[in-house]
Structure 1
Amino acid sequence: MIDTGFKTCLLIDDNYIDNFVTRRILESSNFAENIVVKQSATEAIDMIRHGSLKPDVIFLDLRMPLMNGFEFLQEYDKLAENDKTANKIFMLSSSLDPVDVKRSGQNKYITQFIHKPITQKILEELTA
């Protein structure tokens, strides 16, 4: 059991199986009070923009159709300051491309780049 103090965790990933597995791990570790899963970064940013979703932590997939992780971050940057409620944004990806890792590290919103799949051990390290 992990006590993070997070109220709402947003998981953005277009892969249903990845979402299912990640959500189960987040729930079993009590990572946040609420786990919200969106398969579309466009839908997620719209919900944040309109105030219907106020996550304090986000797990963001990198490679998605329509809007990828970096495009989501560009839109996130355009939000009003009071809509940017996420204290931490973790880039969650299966990409092994060093350019993706470097670019994530240079983004002011990304707390850490995490290679899929997420595990209980990784969650414990994130909250240590």
Structure 2
Amino acid sequence: MRHHSLGQSSTFLMRRDLLLNFPFRRWGHNMRKILVVDDDEGFQFLCKMVFKRSGEPFQILEAYDGVQALEILQSDDPKPDLILLDINMPRMNGHQFLEEYSKQAVGEVPIVAMLTSSEQQRDRQNALSYSFVQDYLLKPLCIEHIQKLKRLYQHVCNQPVVS
């Protein structure tokens, strides 16, 4: 998906079978949590549908900007396993979120993967300067991204790669 102006549409294609063996840590009730931080309602919907139709018990948490994401992460609820973070958002953008979160991050920190339309090298460098940001992916969300996130998660958790 390219970054579109308000009122323009986007088209997404996704294979749900790639998510069937995604090795998330398990929280209570075997729920796997993914926090999607993006102000694009279409992208939020896509993520929700892709993960929910995977056949696994995912809980998709939605935040439409960095302020909402911090509120979710500061709650007493278990932390998400994965955060998909956009850069260009109102109130608190992705860079501001990373800066604020880096001050507050204590203990087990979820994996953060940037998933954004920004191709600017300075955005990439800034995001990857945080130790908890593990990857910088360009939209659209595609099969290769899901495979890469799966390998990344397994590597970080020292789990064997499952094809």
**Of 98, 102, 109, the match for 2:121:** 98
Which residue number in structure 2 is paired with residue 4 of structure 1?
A: 23
Q: CA RMSD in A?
A: 2.0
Of 35-44 and 56-65, more deviation after overlay is shown by 35-44
Which protein has the bigger strand share? 1
Distance in 2 between residues matched to 1:31 and 1:120, nearest whole Å: 17
Distance in 2 between residues matched to 1:54 and 1:122, nearest whole Å: 22
Alpha-carbon offset, residue 48 of structure 1: 1.4
The structure number with the bigger radius of gyration is: 2
- Gap regions ≥5 residues in structure 1: none
Of 29-38 and 99-108, more deviation after overlay is shown by 29-38
Q: Size of the alignment, in residue pairs?
A: 126
Change (3 A) 1:53 1:39: farther
Task: Report the identity percentage.
Answer: 25
Which residue number in structure 1 is paired with residue 43 of structure 2?
A: 18
- SS of 2:79's equivalent in the other structure is coil
- SS of 1:107's equivalent in the other structure is coil
- Gap regions ≥5 residues in structure 2: 1-19, 26-31, 152-163
Distance in 2 between residues matched to 1:30 and 1:81, nearest whole Å: 32
Please list, as runs of the form range in 1=range in 2, the aligned pairs for 1:1-128 lying within 5 A after superposition: 1-6=20-25, 7-29=32-54, 33-52=58-77, 54-79=79-104, 81-82=106-107, 84-86=108-110, 88-128=111-151
Of 25-34 and 108-117, more deviation after overlay is shown by 25-34
- SS of 2:101's equivalent in the other structure is helix
Q: Which runs of 4+ in 1 moved over 4 A?
A: none
TM-score normalised to structure 1 length: 0.85
